[in-house]
Amino acid sequence: MTEPAAVGFAIPSASPFAGIRDAKAPPPADRPSPNQGLLYVEGVGKYYGDRIGCKDVSFDLWPGEVLAIVGESGSGKSTLLNLVCGRMVPTSGKVRYRESSGDLFDVHKLPEASRRRLLRTEWGYVHQNPRDGLRMRVSAGGNIGERLMACGSRHYGNIRKTGVSWLDRVEIDADRIDDVPVSYSGGMQQRLQIARNLVSAPRLVFMDEPTGGLDVSVQARLLDLIRTLVREMGLSVVLVTHDLAVARLLAHRLMVMRRGEVVESGLADQVLDDPRHEYTQLLVSSVLQG
């Protein structure tokens, strides 16, 4: 077998993302203090019976950081994301999160009600399929308002006003506010899901292939929108994607997974420009050969 060439990864000019270039949020300043991290993932693993979901994964996430988990289908990305946000219980390892109060706690030792509360307030979770993240038979305004109410809003007029302004932010016409998401296109549904998640100004957002399953032109526009919001709101994000162009555009740091294990990690631009592991080199060069 010939060695894959270690070539620089550029977004090919034919790519729908080629026009999106300069707006990535700057990486947060160097990690100033060891006790200001938002998320500490330590040796996390999950087996499905005998099958490895993911194995011995560790990373930290700092406020304002965007971390992309990349790898081909079946490499364990979604398993890892589910473990990190507490939707799934790990076979080994632990995940700690620093709450807005400053206290660190073990995500898997939280009572279920508290974890669900986190997911409705300080955290967001953007699913690949908007059906999994929206209430499809509740109006768009209701989808956004529900999250505001979970955060304590009670005033109908304010909730409505915030709903309108968020629809505008995600480029949905305000006159669609009373329509149900089933009447929306896939791209609109995904933008609504993002509005529903971000309206509470979460500190940490999980995204699993947020632009997957959409037409490429729709993907590019959505990606641009996500990037703008992440920058403006200074969000911390753990993003799963099989698409290196998406990782390049959004992430400060990158973790490459293969068969459940992390094979390479580092600053996104560095890993993509100068991949060290053979598997990363293969991923990067296959994008270029497209």
Ligand X SMILES: Nc1ncnc2c1ncn2[C@@H]1O[C@H](COP(=O)(O)OP(=O)(O)O)[C@@H](O)[C@H]1O
Contact positions vs ligand X (CB under 6 A): 48, 51, 53, 71, 73-79
φ/ψ of 207, rounded to 5, equals -135, 130
Please report how close the Cβ of residue 82 comes to Mg ion at its closest, in angstroms: 9
φ/ψ of 124, rounded to 5, equals -130, 155
Of the pair 56, 99, the CB lying nearest ligand X is at 56
Of the pair 76, 124, the CB lying nearest Mg ion is at 76
The DSSP line for 205-269 is EEEESTTTTS-HHHHHHHHHHHHHHHHHHT-EEEEEES-HHHHHHH-SEEEEEETTEEEEEEEHH
Measure CA 64 to chain center. 13
Of the pair 57, 284, the CB lying nearest ligand X is at 57
Please report how close the Cβ of residue 251 comes to ligand X at its closest, in angstroms: 16
Of the pair 169, 259, the CB lying nearest Mg ion is at 259
Please report how close the Cβ of residue 75 comes to Mg ion at its closest, in angstroms: 8
Q: Could you give the CA distance from residue 158 to residue 160 in angstroms, rounded to a whole number?
A: 5
Question: What is the largest distance, in Å, between two alpha-carbon atoms of the chain?
Answer: 65
Answer positive or negative: Cα dihedral of 250, 251, 257, 260: negative
Q: What's the CA dihedral at 169, 172, 176, 180 to 10 degrees? A: -100
Please report how close the Cβ of residue 212 comes to Mg ion at its closest, in angstroms: 9
Radius of gyration in angstroms for the set of CA atoms belonging to the chain, rounded to a whole number: 19
Assess contact for 207 and 238: CB atoms under 8 A: yes
Q: Which does 187 bind (CB under 5 to 8 A by kind): Mg ion, ligand X, none?
A: none
Q: Which does 186 bind (CB under 5 to 8 A by kind): ligand X, Mg ion, none?
A: none
The residue behind tokens 């768009």 is 140
Q: Which does 86 bind (CB under 5 to 8 A by kind): ligand X, Mg ion, none?
A: none
Of the pair 21, 51, the CB lying nearest ligand X is at 51
Please report how close the Cβ of residue 243 comes to ligand X at its closest, in angstroms: 12
Using the contact rule CB under 5 A, the part of the chain among 72-80, 91-99, 137-145, 172-180 near Mg ion is 72-80
Q: Which does 63 bind (CB under 5 to 8 A by kind): Mg ion, ligand X, none?
A: none
Please report how close the Cβ of residue 209 comes to Mg ion at its closest, in angstroms: 6
Q: Which does 48 bind (CB under 5 to 8 A by kind): Mg ion, ligand X, none?
A: ligand X
Q: Could you give the CA distance from residue 281 to residue 273 in angstroms, rounded to a whole number?
A: 10
Please report how close the Cβ of residue 77 comes to Mg ion at its closest, in angstroms: 5
Q: Give the amino acid at 172.
A: I
Of the pair 162, 265, the CB lying nearest ligand X is at 265
Q: Which does 51 bind (CB under 5 to 8 A by kind): Mg ion, ligand X, none?
A: ligand X
Of the pair 78, 197, the CB lying nearest Mg ion is at 78
Interaction between residue 78 and Mg ion (CB under 5 A): yes
Helix (H) or strand (E) holding 192: helix 186-198
Q: Which does 75 bind (CB under 5 to 8 A by kind): ligand X, Mg ion, none?
A: ligand X
Measure CA 185 to chain center. 21
Assess contact for 237 and 264: CB atoms under 8 A: no
Which residues of the shown chain bind Mg ion in the complex (CB under 5 A)? 78
